[in-house]
Amino acid sequence: MNANMNTNTAPDTLSTAINNGNNRHFDDEEFEDYVAAPPSYICTDNFECVKDDQEKMYYRSAYNSITQLELWTWLQQNNGPFLLNRSHEMDLLKRRMWQDEINSYHSGASFALVLRQMEFIANYGYEKFRQEHLNRR
């Protein structure tokens, strides 16, 4: 888990709040502040910062799958190798990702690399990911 995470902040989704047992009430001002500042993993440019088109499609697919399954918090806490991960969350993520045809072109290594990049976004935010990719050009 990211050491800089504040456990008193609003959860990014209702299901995360329920799953984490967070039933804390947020007053109107706290809620407005939360809504005004979306989670840092929000992708702001549809991965246009990535030069390679296939890599970009891999990232979009993984990002959309993680978002749909609400696995960003789980991804922040994951420390193990993705290819050996047998958790329920990984099973859901793999099944969701394989529904997208682009993922049929993955090798084991490329799959793990894409998930490692998603883990980077979960921990450091999309803007840091974007800057890293723009600096590679």
Closest-CA residue to 59 (of 6, 109, 121, 135): 121
Q: Given a cut of 50, is residue 19 above it in pLDDT?
A: no
Tens-digit pLDDT profile for residues 20-64 = 444 445 556 655 554 445 578 888 889 999 999 999 999 999 999
Tell me, what's the pLDDT at 82? Answer: 84
What integer pLDDT is reported at residue 63 of this predicted model?
A: 95
Task: Report pLDDT digits (tens) over 82-101.
Answer: 888 889 999 999 999 999 99
How far is it, in rounded angstroms, from Cα 80 to Cα 46? Answer: 27
pLDDT of residue 9: 40
| Rounded CA separation 6/41 (Å) | 16
With contact defined as beta carbons under 8 Å apart, do 14 and 26 qualify?
A: no
Give me the pLDDT at residue 14, please: 40
* HSE-up (13 A, CA, CB side) for residue 122: 23
Which range has the top average pLDDT, 47-51, 76-80, 106-110?
A: 47-51
pLDDT at 5: 41
Average pLDDT over residues 7-27: 43
For residue 18, is pLDDT > 50?
no
